[in-house]
A = this chain, B = another copy of it.
Amino acid sequence: MRKQHRLLAKKVGMPPGTLLHIGSKRSERPVITFLCYDEQSVIREQEGISLNELSAASQSGVIWIHVNGLSHVEIVEHIGQLFAIHPLTLEDILNTNQRPKLEDYGDYIYIALKMLGYDEEKQLIAAEHINILVGANFVISFQESNQPIFKPVRERIKNGQSRFRKHGADYLAYALVDTVVDYYFVLLEQLGEQVETLEEELVTKPDAKLLPAIHNLKTEMLYLRRSVWPLREVIAQLERGDSALFKDSTLLYIRDIYDHTVQVIETVETYRDMTSSMLEIYLSSISNRMNEVVKMLTVISTIFMPLTFLAGLYGMNFKYMPELEWQYGYPAVLVLMTIIGITMYRYFSGKDWI
């Protein structure tokens, strides 16, 4: 369990709706990107628009406002006022610990998501808080970092051929959610490789060093699971089509994402089962090797203890030990020892211990 995974709030006793950024500051100054389009053309596109310009912007067609960076509370507040967003929603937007959820406020739908990636260096899943507000003719998206994950969507909008122009804000919201879910597959691909590598190592050379790796993977799976299950719920809520904001034509696409999230969940569950299974296999192979070691010890002891005893026997200093006087006493004992040694060896070979 690492600090990053703790999804805890820290605001005992504060009134609800208090706007407070919870999380580590990622990007410097938040950047707002404004895009406005209708069926014919892209009406206006501006990266790095100021709050004032935003307020003044004409609002025909479909408007998409994308904000990179959540650390400046006043930006969220300003946009909130502009579009009449409920304070509780604004609070959730700023809380990077917010779990995935969907809330229908009538005029708009609020969707909280986690963008997940794999940080190869730290060996852990990196999460980013994504918020999407969908209204009748606007989509506002908030993203914690300034990674350009939604750039392909913007390109597709600007490209006249695409389906975007014909559909409204709901299709745009769909496209954003779809993009986030697509990244899950990339993450699963990376985790799958790790699972595979671990499994191979486990079979070829089981080692104590694999233990923390298995444990780490298990913990990451736990975290991933906790992000993915509520995501499914979110999309199931959309798919049920309770909201008038989502048109029937878009619901077909939503069903498609739903299908994807189910696939993600199944893969996560399979990986989880496999990781659990690994630990059992690991324990079994340790026991196996212990068995080998103890067998070896027993073989060595069983062969040499009688021999050493025999040598000790004829090392006794009794005055009257007739064998010691025999001409062939020594070779006889050597022969006897050889016979004992070989017999023991054969006995253990027969038992498949050697």
Contact = CB atoms under 8 A, between A and B. Distances in A.
Given A15-B162, A277-B215, A317-B317, A286 B284 contact: yes
Interface string A324-336: 1111111001000
A147 B33 CA distance: 49
B325 A330 contact: no
Interface stretch (A24-32, A42-50, A54-62, A306-314): A306-314
Given A8-B267, A99-B263, A329 B318 contact: yes
A179 B1 contact: no
Interface stretch (A66-74, A123-131, A294-302): A294-302
Contacts of A298: 293-294, 296-297, 300
A339 interface: no
Given A195-B1, A253-B16, A301-B301, A189 B10 contact: yes
Nearest to A188: B8
Contacts of A294: 290, 293-294, 297-298
Nearest to A290: B291
Interface in A255-297: 255-256, 259-260, 262-263, 266-267, 270-271, 273-274, 277, 279-291, 293-297
A226 B329 contact: no
Given A219-B277, A263-B7, A1 B192 contact: yes
A13 B311 contact: no
Contacts of A274: 1, 219, 222
A196 B319 CA distance: 65
A38 interface: no
A9 B182 CA distance: 8
A288 B318 contact: no
* Interface-central residue, A99, A101, A288, by most chain B CB under 10 Å: A288
Given A13-B182, A259-B101, A274-B219, A316 B319 contact: no
17 contacts: A1-B274, A8-B189, A9-B185, A10-B189, A88-B253, A99-B263, A103-B255, A203-B212, A279-B284, A287-B287, A289-B291, A293-B298, A294-B297, A300-B305, A307-B309, A319-B325, A320-B326
